[in-house]
Amino acid sequence: MDTEKGVAMKRLLKTASDMLPTGLLVLGAVAVSCGIGLIYFPAGVIAAGALAIIGGVLLIRGGDDSE
Judge whether 55 and 25 are in contact, CB under 8 Å: yes
pLDDT number for residue 43: 94
Give backbone dihedrals phi and psi of 63, rounded to 5 degrees, phi first.
-130, 45
Judge whether 33 and 47 are in contact, CB under 8 Å: yes
pLDDT number for residue 26: 86
pLDDT number for residue 38: 95
3-state secondary structure at position 59: helix
**What residue ranges of the chain have pLDDT lower than 50?**
1, 67
Residue type, 63: G
CA gap 35, 41 in Å, rounded = 9
